[in-house]
Structure 1
Amino acid sequence: MLQNWTETLSNNRKAAGQLAAHNPQMLTAFRALNEAQGATGTLDAKTRELIALAVAVTTRCDGCIAAHAAAARKAGVTEAELAEALGTAIALNAGAAYVYSLRAMDALDTFKE
């Protein structure tokens, strides 16, 4: 096991209390945002959690991975489904590095003497 994901999830939930004490409106808004996710019913919970995990990987958020892995299991996500979704995340990250490499080359060219 690379990390204790159950502990990560639990620790993040406990730590949220300190943020809530200092900025309750933000935490209320964050919770409302999460509750609104899927409100239209267009995507099922399984699909939403696969997307969430792929995004969590691309944004490198361990807390997001822990929370959405737990929710994905509850939604019935299998290892094979997650592996395919993560393949998309891996391909996108490589693609993003390629596109931003083009931008860096363009920026360098902008500053020619």
Structure 2
Amino acid sequence: MLDWKTYRKQLVTRIGEIAGLSPDTVKGYQTLSNAGKATNHLDAKTRELIALAVVVTTRCDGCIAVHSAAALKAGASREEIAEALGVAVALNAGAALVYSSRVMDAIAPDEGQG
């Protein structure tokens, strides 16, 4: 298993290097990341639970490292995190099912060709 604390520290260092080379890129990312805090329609815990569900679907280890720590800091329990992850699993399965119907459509015989 990955040492998530060490990985998170390494990631912060590398992102800092990117910020030095391309500051507007990182500033733009930070603006997007902080947009929810500005409106505060969702509390921090809810935003982090959503983030964890999304990072599972996008398969981003860096996001897992950052948002798992942030979710715990925001007061999310292991049970709440597991439930959010369950939503991600269900949506991935649902997306696979929907795209399976697209495959069936692609292989369907054309009308009138029987």
TM-score by length of structure 1 reads: 0.88
CA distance in 1 between partners of 2:92 and 2:11 (Å): 26
The list of structure 1 runs, each at least 4 consecutive aligned residues, that deviate by more than 4 angstroms after superposition, is none
Is 1:22 the counterpart of 2:21? The answer is yes
Q: Is the 8 A contact 1:46 1:76 kept in 2?
A: yes
Q: Is the 8 A contact 2:36 2:42 kept in 1?
A: no
Match of 1:13 in 2: 12
Shift of 1:107: 2.9
What's the % identity of the aligned pairs?
53
Q: Which runs of 5+ in 2 are unaligned?
A: none
Match of 1:85 in 2: 84
Deviations 1:57-100 (A, max 9, x none): 11111100110011111101100111111111111110011111
Give 1:70-81 correspondences, 5 Å limit. Answer: 70-81=69-80
Shift of 1:14: 0.7
Match of 1:63 in 2: 62
Matched to 1:40, the amino acid is T
CA distance in 2 between partners of 1:96 and 1:66 (Å): 25
Q: Is the 8 A contact 2:8 2:62 kept in 1?
A: yes
| Corresponding residue SS for 2:76 | coil
Q: CA-atom RMSD, angstroms?
A: 1.9
CA distance in 2 between partners of 1:110 and 1:89 (Å): 34
Match of 1:104 in 2: 103
Q: Which runs of 5+ in 1 are unaligned?
A: none
TM-score by length of structure 2 reads: 0.87
Figure out how many residues of one structure are paired with residues of the other and give that number.
111
